[in-house]
Amino acid sequence: MDYRKRFVVNPGAKVKLAAIDASYKGKHLEEPDAKAEIEKYKSKMSELQYRLYAEKKHSVLIVLQALDAAGKDGTVNHVMSAMNPQGTVVTGFKAPTAEDLEHDFLWRIHPHAPAKGTVAIFNRSYYEDVLVVRVHKLAPKEVWSERYELIHDFERLLRKQNNTHIIKFFLHISKEEQLERFKQRLDDPTRNWKISENDYKERELWDEYTKAFEEVFAETSSKHAPWYIIPSNHKWFRNLAVSQIVAATMEDLGMKMPKPTVDLERIRSEYHQAADDESEKRKKKKKK
């Protein structure tokens, strides 16, 4: 199954998150059934990232957005484990600093956009400025609603000026699953550090966040920067879908290994000469 076609938000489409099954898991019943396929796509991502890094004609930006406990960190770990850290950068965007607030909302984002040949992963992103800002009424509607067009312009700029291919994922979990994951954080000492005082307060705003996300999808999913809504109640299926979509998007770039910029025959000749010289030295040493 092509998960790009299944989970993409077509430009201008109206999405109702309540109608999307967050527990969907495709043809696989359980994680062991999907393990081989997950590994296949991880291997493909690794191969394609190597080509991306070598060719240096494209860049890839992966945007992760979700409600709390949906698995942004887990997705980062999954994608990163398939890629060479030398060509991959992860940036997490938390609340803006006082300095950030003195500039336009994209000022803190642009320096982290991927250079040619690299992959950037945003754990939260510039979309916080039309989500959190809207839900918590940190700015009036006339301010945050204008940001949709500015986001379009920013994403077009990255695409046209730096050949950046943008893949945006919304990790979709149910309200019940979120509560269960909060419980796991409480019960597991190794996860206690993830607990926030705001976790349960933010749950009270679930409906407001849902409306905000639905409008974001309708306003900002485009051909060059599509949104994908990934059912994420099952972490293993989330990883399967994300890795397939990332691998397929990168494969479509038609990347090729660059041709050598040096005279290989001359270097081969020098190598063989050096090897012969070393061999002669070893023979003379033995005779002595």
Q: Is the pLDDT of residue 25 over 80?
A: yes
Q: Is the pLDDT of residue 198 over 90?
A: no
Q: Is the pLDDT of residue 225 over 90?
A: yes
Residues 67-86: tens digit of each pLDDT: 999 999 999 999 999 999 99
pLDDT on residue 266? 86
Can you tell me the mean pLDDT for 9-15?
A: 96
**Superfamily assignment of 3-257 in CATH?**
P-loop containing nucleotide triphosphate hydrolases (3.40.50.300)
Domains of the chain by residue range: 3-257, 263-288
Higher per-residue pLDDT: 200 or 88: 88
Can you tell me the mean pLDDT for 149-153?
A: 98
Contact in structure between 154 and 106 (CB atoms under 8 Å): yes
Angle at 64 between CA 233 and CA 13, to 5 degrees: 80
Q: Is the pLDDT of residue 17 over 90?
A: yes
Structure tokens at 108: 């803190």
pLDDT on residue 191? 84
Higher per-residue pLDDT: 271 or 92: 92
Both ends of the chain: CA-CA distance in Å?
A: 69
pLDDT on residue 120? 98
Q: Is the pLDDT of residue 264 over 80?
A: no
CA distance 281 to 288: 11
Can you tell me the mean pLDDT for 191-208?
A: 87
Q: Is the pLDDT of residue 268 over 70?
A: yes
Mean pLDDT lowest among 7-11, 128-132, 184-188, 222-226: 184-188
Local confidence band at 269 (pLDDT 50, 70, 90 cut-offs): confident
Residues 29-51: tens digit of each pLDDT: 899 999 999 999 999 999 999 99
Please choose, from the candidates 105, 121, 103, 17, the residue with its C-alpha nearest in 3D space to the C-alpha of residue 60. Answer: 121
Contact in structure between 40 and 246 (CB atoms under 8 Å): no
> How many CA within 13 A on the CB side of residue 25?
15
- For the whole model, what pTM was predicted? 0.93
Query: What mean pLDDT is reported for the chain?
Result: 94
